[in-house]
Structure 1
Amino acid sequence: MIPRKLKLSLSLLNTRLKKNKVLSGFKIFYPFKIASTIQNTGLLLLVFSSNVFAVSFLSFDPRSMALGGAGVASSPIYNATLFNPALLVTSGKSNVFFSVPYLGARILDRDGFINAVDEYQKNNAQLAFDTQLQLAKTRFNQGTLVSNDIRVVAGAAAQWQNDLNNLSNKPLRVSASYQLSAGKTGHATAWGAHYRRYYVVGAQINFNQDDQQQISKAIRILNIMADIADNVEDTIALANELDLSTLEALINTSIDSGELTSKLEDYFYLPGMQQLIEEAIDTGRLATDLKEYLRLNDLEAALKDPDAINNPPQLNQYIRYKPSNKLQSTIAVQGAFISESSIGFATALANFQGVTVGINLKQLQLTTIDFETDIADVSAGEVTSKGNQTEYNKFNADIGVSYHFNSTTKMGLVVKNVLPYDFLTALDNTIKYRPLARFGVSYQGTFFHLVGDVDLTSNDPIGFDPNKQYASLGIELPMTGYGALRFGVRKNLVNGATLPSIGLGFSTNQLNVDIAVAKSEKNDELGAALQIGLTF
């Protein structure tokens, strides 16, 4: 029995359509606006973050960065209020100190977004797609478009889609800080103050599954259209040599009787007839897949119209699947800008030899940023939009203790942000300010200075990072003259991630200059800092 699917094939033959005209007016390319918009706008906001939770103990000054983040038991006086206010008290004479702002920044890329961007740029898939699409349009207008041209466009689109997928849901997190400090040290009492501004922000592209399916369907339709073009091309050559009306009548008779008639069987002996039927069967199988996308009955009727020879139907008039122009993929942007104004005081305890205590009283001005928007509508102005921000002013405090075992060894303990707060963002996410406890030790040898810190609490950080509980170890090696070379390593005890660092310090009686860089082995975290300090 001849399959009924052959009817569609014979209809295609009966129209004697000119090669490629079956594709006339078929506009399947505009769903790729989704991918293009992601590329053009998604990379614009890579300095914002998502999933805001809490503030962790991150160091941005170059000395502690070079030493792996350690500083609770050993910090220069102009950074004492940052790490441990008890360190304001020194064994030497009183000094007034002042430092210009340090500048420090860190980039965190835990999921390989930067590598994905490198791969994206290396493949240059968007340019390949644009080139092939333009070439296909040119050949279509010239009447020379063939099915392989369509398949090349579909293949380039699939490669571009894969590269875009590699960019999706991979956050890039940026944090930065600067500080200005001043104060007066002493061997019994001391005071200090600082103003610090820091940012922990980032962005994440969320490639929506509906958009993903639209692109996938567009690619699939391109391949289906190429298959149709193949079938049309292969069968039109035979159509000119056959009495199609007689052949169609014989096939319809065979379909109605359920048997292959002898007259129809005679057609098998004609040159190329077997190929014709095989191609028709393939087209019939293809037509089954097309039901999801095309109104086949209406299309078949249009193809049978005698006018179709001169005015072939446009497939876009019969498409069931209509891609939406409304993009659902988004960019999530969240973060916090924090200003910290602090006044610290420290004193040595007369009844406890070697023990000093200190306290910071500080005012926090915190601005949260939290919004998620369509990738087609995102703009830098939304970051500063009041509708996407919440602002808070809160009082807080840090308490620290330092103990000198002897002239070479001391330890420190600090609890920062002793007053807990919950801050709601514009989208009702929560930033949690919780007490952070850290313990540190310091050993001053003849030829080196060894320091180490460890967090006593595990902290949920702002941004996309996993929980943090740091252990830091650093060594400072004096150099000839007034310089020092520093090395350090920081380890997250929660996930085992390590961050090596290196730095250089230069100092005289009045001037201190420090620089540092930090870089993880996987390049998923980078840091750099510079600071200049003055004492009188």
Structure 2
Amino acid sequence: MTIKPSLLATAVAAISALSVHTAMATPFLPMDARGLAMGDTGVASAKLAHAPAFNPSLLSQARNEDDFAIIFPSVGVVVADEEELIDSANDISDITVPKFEDLFDDASSNNFNSAVNNVQASSTALVNELNSLGNSDGRTNAQKADDLRTANQNFADDLDEVNSKLSEVNSVTKELTDSLNSISGDPIRGRAGVGMAVAMPGKKFAAALSVNADVHFSGRTIFTGTDQNLITAYGVAAQGYVDIAQAIPTDINTLADDVEAGASPTDIQTAATSIQDSLDEFQNYTSDDVETADGSIKIFNGGDISNEAENPNLDSRVEIVAVGIADVGLSFSREFTIADRKVAIGVTPKLQTIETYHYITEMDNEDDIETSDIEDSRATYSHINLDIGASMRLGENNQWMVGVVAKNLISKDFDLSDAPVRGSSNNLVVEGGTVSLKPQFRAGVSYSNNWVTVAGDLDLVENDPIAYEQATQYAAIGAEFDLYETFQVRAGYRTNLSASNSEVVSLGFGLSPFGVHIDIAALANPSDYKKEVGVALETGFYF
């Protein structure tokens, strides 16, 4: 048996390695090094060139001295394994599965399979002794009884060893099923992206051109009921095998006493025949049928572990969905006077290309995962969408900012391709279904002066997951300390209000000598970085 839960990590890596000309805009997490370092805030705090990603109205909130800004490129990647699926899957693959395989390995001399072979051999020797009881071979009754007891002791010792290994079978099969059940359905998710933007500020007219390309993926393992029944069936079948032989050693000892005492040949023959019938049933034990991915098999067949049981085909699987949007947006912004307040309003019409991927492979598929297989599941769509944002400065010195944005206002569903299950012996195909691109709404507030910016953002609605992961509704805070407009230090915190233990902390810094910006950021879950970790880097120019 070969089980490869670590295929999940391989499949994720293969999808992540695809050319990043696809993306997904859900959840609301622009791949921006400055915003990521500040907890993924930006609706009221993003700088000029980041405005298209967070809130297009901020194009009209730039400083008076800002004339022109470029980001090229912005790159980043974030992976979230909140249930520690990959570690658990690798432990199963590297530790638990080898234990299970070793129980039934023909090459091993100290496992359940070898114990079965040994007891089969000793049972044959016992049958030979029973058959010889009626022969006139020169042995006395006492000698025949002693030989029968010796063969019986060998059989009993081998049967005890089978019993001992049966306990190991039950322990390991329970460990394996419990472990696979514990990770079944647990999600892993991630996103990777690149982007660029060119922006010109202005109170009466501001504009920006932005190009973004991200990919979001969601994966899980599914431990099927068929495989669970199969693995459990090994212990059940082995117990039935042992149960048949339990009474045989006692019956033979009784018969040996009768032989030694000179019981009548008829009585001895009757008792021997009854024991031989039990041994014959034991030697030819065939267990009940078990439904597997390949149909019905038997764990024991004719007293031996069947070939199908030594190397069964499993139908538990790894499933990956990746969805993306490549968008080109042209943002416009202008400041208006509304109720004696200066309010900036911005819009970003976008041309989007949406691509979906749907990949499934069986856990015991020994073939390598090919990028071409994943590409075969790609479905491509075109879409037009729209972002709208507003922002307003407050306070005596306009140091406070509030903002609100609605992104991807034109919602639409997109089909996932039906996915052939790689490694399936019966050419199983799983229906694709659909994924949705829905509007996102976020509000933000910030305070800034010459040396510090503090910001907070909140998703106003819960955002649906791409596929298997949890829904998101993020609340975030962050701060930036700017030293002489040359060196920036940033920190942030973000939590998902729709899930527990999903906090991340983030850190970053920037260098901006003579208008050249280099920004680096990293984030991680504070309880365990493996639950979520990410990095981002960007370069840009502000004039």
TM-score by length of 2: 0.71
Task: Sort the Cα spacing of 1:103 and 1:316 in 2 relative to 1 into closer, same or farther, 3 A.
Answer: same
Name the structure 2 match of 1:218.
234
Task: Sort the Cα spacing of 1:515 and 1:343 in 2 relative to 1 into closer, same or farther, 3 A.
Answer: same
| Residue 373 of structure 1: how far off its partner (Å) | 4.5
Name the structure 1 match of 2:11.
45
Residue 362 of structure 1 pairs with residue 342 of structure 2? no
Residue 519 of structure 1 pairs with residue 520 of structure 2? no
Task: Sort the Cα spacing of 1:129 and 1:386 in 2 relative to 1 into closer, same or farther, 3 A.
Answer: closer
Task: Sort the Cα spacing of 1:420 and 1:293 in 2 relative to 1 into closer, same or farther, 3 A.
Answer: closer
| Residue 353 of structure 1: how far off its partner (Å) | 5.7
Task: Sort the Cα spacing of 1:161 and 1:96 in 2 relative to 1 into closer, same or farther, 3 A.
Answer: same
- Give runs of aligned pairs for residues 3-22 of structure 1, distance below 5 A: none
> 1:81 aligned to 39, 52, 55, which one?
52
Name the structure 2 match of 1:180.
196
Structure 2 CA distance, aligned partners of 1:54 and 1:211? Answer: 37
Name the structure 1 match of 2:78.
106
What SS does structure 2 have at the residue aligned with 1:166? helix
What SS does structure 1 have at the residue aligned with 2:46? coil
Structure 2 CA distance, aligned partners of 1:108 and 1:315? Answer: 43
| Residue 163 of structure 1: how far off its partner (Å) | 2.9
8 Å Cα contact 1:54-1:459 kept in structure 2: no
Residue 317 of structure 1 pairs with residue 308 of structure 2? no
What SS does structure 2 have at the residue aligned with 1:78? helix
Could you report, residue by residue, the CA deviation over 1:318-348 in whole angstroms, capped at 9, with x for unpaired residues? 7999769553322222121321111212223
> 1:407 aligned to 398, 414, 419, which one?
398
Could you report, residue by residue, the CA deviation over 1:147-202 in whole angstroms, capped at 9, with x for unpaired residues? 25633651444434433333322121122211122233345432211211111113
Name the structure 2 match of 1:202.
218
Residue 162 of structure 1 pairs with residue 178 of structure 2? yes
Would you say how many aligned residue pairs link Structure 1 and Structure 2? 450
Identify the structure with bigger relative contact order (alpha carbons < 8 Å, sequence gap 6+): 1
| Residue 214 of structure 1: how far off its partner (Å) | 0.9
Structure 1 CA distance, aligned partners of 2:65 and 2:464? Answer: 41
Task: Sort the Cα spacing of 1:62 and 1:486 in 2 relative to 1 into closer, same or farther, 3 A.
Answer: same
Residue 482 of structure 1 pairs with residue 479 of structure 2? no
Name the structure 2 match of 1:27.
none
8 Å Cα contact 2:187-2:469 kept in structure 1: no
Structure 1 CA distance, aligned partners of 2:541 and 2:451? Answer: 25
More displaced stretch, 351-360 vs 170-179: 351-360
| Residue 408 of structure 1: how far off its partner (Å) | 0.9
Task: Sort the Cα spacing of 1:236 and 1:518 in 2 relative to 1 into closer, same or farther, 3 A.
Answer: farther
Give the letter for the 2:537 counterpart. L
| Residue 425 of structure 1: how far off its partner (Å) | 1.7
- Give runs of aligned pairs for residues 376-525 of structure 1, distance below 5 A: 376-377=364-365, 380-381=369-370, 384-385=373-374, 388-405=377-394, 406-426=397-417, 427-445=431-449, 448-479=452-483, 482-495=486-499, 497-523=502-528, 524-525=531-532
Give the gaps of 5 or more residues in structure 1. Answer: 1-32, 256-275, 295-313
Could you report, residue by residue, the CA deviation over 1:374-428 in whole angstroms, capped at 9, with x for unpaired residues? 4345763477556523210111121122212243112222111121212122235
8 Å Cα contact 1:108-1:526 kept in structure 2: yes
More displaced stretch, 448-457 vs 135-144: 135-144
| Residue 209 of structure 1: how far off its partner (Å) | 0.7
Task: Sort the Cα spacing of 1:502 and 1:40 in 2 relative to 1 into closer, same or farther, 3 A.
Answer: closer
| Residue 75 of structure 1: how far off its partner (Å) | 0.7
- Give runs of aligned pairs for residues 85-164 of structure 1, distance below 5 A: 85-89=56-60, 90-117=62-89, 119-120=91-92, 124-131=95-102, 133-134=104-105, 137-138=108-109, 140=114, 146-147=161-162, 150-151=165-166, 154=169, 155-164=171-180
| Residue 128 of structure 1: how far off its partner (Å) | 3.5
Identity %: 23
| Residue 503 of structure 1: how far off its partner (Å) | 2.1
8 Å Cα contact 1:67-1:489 kept in structure 2: yes
Name the structure 2 match of 1:530.
537
Give the gaps of 5 or more residues in structure 2. Answer: 17-23, 123-157, 290-298, 418-430
RMSD across aligned positions (CA): 3.9
8 Å Cα contact 1:370-1:389 kept in structure 2: yes
8 Å Cα contact 2:357-2:375 kept in structure 1: no
| Residue 231 of structure 1: how far off its partner (Å) | 5.8
> 1:63 aligned to 24, 28, 34, which one?
34
More displaced stretch, 181-190 vs 206-215: 181-190
Task: Sort the Cα spacing of 1:454 and 1:44 in 2 relative to 1 into closer, same or farther, 3 A.
Answer: same
| Residue 213 of structure 1: how far off its partner (Å) | 0.7
What SS does structure 1 have at the residue aligned with 2:470? coil
What SS does structure 2 have at the residue aligned with 1:354? strand
What SS does structure 1 have at the residue aligned with 2:462? coil
Residue 340 of structure 1 pairs with residue 327 of structure 2? yes
8 Å Cα contact 2:493-2:505 kept in structure 1: yes
Task: Sort the Cα spacing of 1:84 and 1:248 in 2 relative to 1 into closer, same or farther, 3 A.
Answer: farther
8 Å Cα contact 2:25-2:324 kept in structure 1: no
